[in-house]
């Protein structure tokens, strides 16, 4: 059995070398399909991470009137923390709000002088509320807009626009679907190229196949080399697709980090290199084997 397997692999390698030009063309087409497949995986990581970061920046700010007692504000804070929708509540006192405001406008002398001339703190206390999910902010907002809180609440607002995030999610979903469709389209082209490559190999080996039939070679022994060739196409294209894509990922990582510091594309690629390689090889090998098998079923009558 081991000898038979060794011979099948040997004949498969010979097939790959014998049709070197076709093999190179086939691998090249598969590389393009696999790079797009890798791009879809990387893009999925980027979009998921970006949405997580953006969603984490969404919150509701409740601004209280300057006359609102601190004890009452802290009571509201505790009641909000008791809601299942609320992830966290941060209390910003009037003094802290003024400190933050001065820090943000430290270089603006006009504002600094205006604050000094007022002689009192014009800012109000606030609560910054984060929900477990952006869809839960509507419920929290309804809770804060009750009539019982009107005497002390100045206004309730969003720091980040939830509608923008939802639209961004829709755009990302559309791009991901387009990437998946492009991968399927290129995979179909690669499959057709492999199909025709195996068909030509079968045609050129028809005399050798006839001899093997006469000497009693099994069907698996005749078909085996073409399956091995399909595996070689997929595995080689998978490795080369990562080698080609790696410089682009390393080059683009700093630029992505400028826009979203929380995303480390280079670190993700290095950490998941083995897993990405396995994905690429699995996709490439399945594509190569399925295409080879379909060609054999149609043109190799054994």
pLDDT tens sequence across 253-290: 888 888 778 888 899 999 999 999 999 999 888 888 88
Q: Which of 52, 59, 78, 55 is nearest to 129 (CA)?
A: 59
The mean pLDDT value of the chain amounts to: 80
pLDDT of residue 287: 84
CA distance 191 to 27: 11
Cβ(128)–Cβ(89) below 8 Å: yes
Task: Look at residue 177 and give its three-state secondary structure.
Answer: helix
Of the two residues 302 and 176, the one the predictor is more confident about is 176
Measured in residues, the chain has a length of: 302
Whether the CA torsion 13, 17, 23, 27 is positive or negative: it is positive
pLDDT tens sequence across 42-51: 888 888 787 7
Cβ(62)–Cβ(127) below 8 Å: yes
Cβ(226)–Cβ(15) below 8 Å: yes
Residue 244 has pLDDT above 90, yes or no: yes
pLDDT of residue 241: 92
Residue 69 has pLDDT above 80, yes or no: yes
For residue 69, report the phi and psi dihedrals to the nearest 5 degrees. -65, 140
Confidence grade of residue 157 (pLDDT, cut at 50, 70, 90): confident
Contacts for 112 with CB less than 8 Å, ≥ 6 apart: 102, 105, 106
pLDDT of residue 1: 61
Helix orientation angle between 219-259 and 162-204, rounded to the nearest 10 degrees: 150
pLDDT tens sequence across 7-45: 767 766 677 777 777 778 888 888 888 888 888 888 888
User: DSSP of 91-129, one letter per residue?
Assistant: EE-HHHHHHHHHHHTTT-HHHHHHHHHH-S-----EEEE
- In Å, how far from its chain's centre is CA 185? 20
Give all domains of the chain, ordered by start, each with its CATH number: 2-54+165-299 (no CATH), 59-159 (3.30.70.3040)
Q: Among 162-166, 225-229, 262-266, 270-274, which stretch is predicted with the lowest mean pLDDT?
A: 162-166
Kindly list the distances between the CA atom of residue 197 and the CA atoms of 4, 26, 133, 230, 237, in Å, as whole numbers in the listed order. Answer: 24, 8, 52, 10, 15
pLDDT tens sequence across 78-135: 999 998 889 899 999 888 888 888 787 777 777 767 777 777 777 889 999 988 877 7
pLDDT of residue 4: 62
Residue with tokens 């007022």: 118
- Tell me the sheet residues that pair with 155: 63
Helix orientation angle between 273-299 and 20-57, rounded to the nearest 10 degrees: 140
Contacts for 100 with CB less than 8 Å, ≥ 6 apart: 92
Kindly list the distances between the CA atom of residue 207 and the CA atoms of 7, 19, 113, in Å, as whole numbers in the listed order. Answer: 18, 16, 96
pLDDT of residue 55: 72
pLDDT of residue 12: 65
Half-sphere exposure of 188 (CA within 13 A, CB side): 6
Q: Which of 14, 75, 30 is nearest to 233 (CA)?
A: 30
């Amino acid at each position: 059995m081991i000898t038979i397997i060794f011979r099948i692999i040997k004949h498969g390698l010979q097939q790959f070398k014998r049709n070197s030009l076709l093999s190179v063309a086939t691998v090249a087409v598969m590389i393009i399909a696999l790079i797009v497949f890798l791009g879809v995986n990387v893009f999925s990581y980027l979009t998921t991470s970006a949405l997580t970061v953006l969603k984490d920046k969404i919150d509701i700010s409740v601004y209280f009137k300057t006359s609102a007692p601190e004890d009452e504000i802290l009571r509201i804070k505790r009641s909000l923390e008791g809601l299942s929708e609320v992830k966290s509540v941060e209390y910003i006192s009037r003094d802290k709000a003024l400190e933050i405001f001065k820090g943000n406008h430290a270089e603006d002398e006009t504002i600094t002088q205006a604050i000094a001339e007022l002689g009192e703190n014009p800012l109000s206390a606030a609560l910054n509320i984060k929900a477990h999910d952006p869809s839960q902010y509507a419920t929290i907002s309804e809770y804060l807009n009750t009539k019982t809180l009107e005497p002390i609440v100045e206004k309730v607002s969003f720091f980040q626009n939830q509608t923008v995030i939802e639209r961004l999610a829709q755009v990302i979903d559309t791009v991901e679907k387009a990437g998946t469709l492009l991968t399927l389209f290129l995979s179909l082209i690669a499959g057709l190229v492999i199909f025709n490559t195996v068909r030509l190999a079968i045609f050129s080996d028809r005399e050798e196949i006839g001899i093997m039939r006469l000497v009693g070679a099994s069907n698996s022994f005749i078909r085996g080399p073409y399956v091995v060739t399909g595996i070689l196409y997929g595995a080689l294209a998978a490795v080369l697709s990562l080698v080609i894509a790696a410089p682009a990922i390393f080059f683009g990582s700093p630029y992505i980090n400028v826009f979203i510091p929380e995303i480390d594309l280079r670190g993700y690629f290095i950490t998941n290199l083995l897993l990405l390689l396995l994905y690429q090889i699995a996709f490439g090998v399945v594509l190569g084997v399925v295409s080879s098998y379909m060609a054999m079923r149609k043109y190799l009558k054994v």
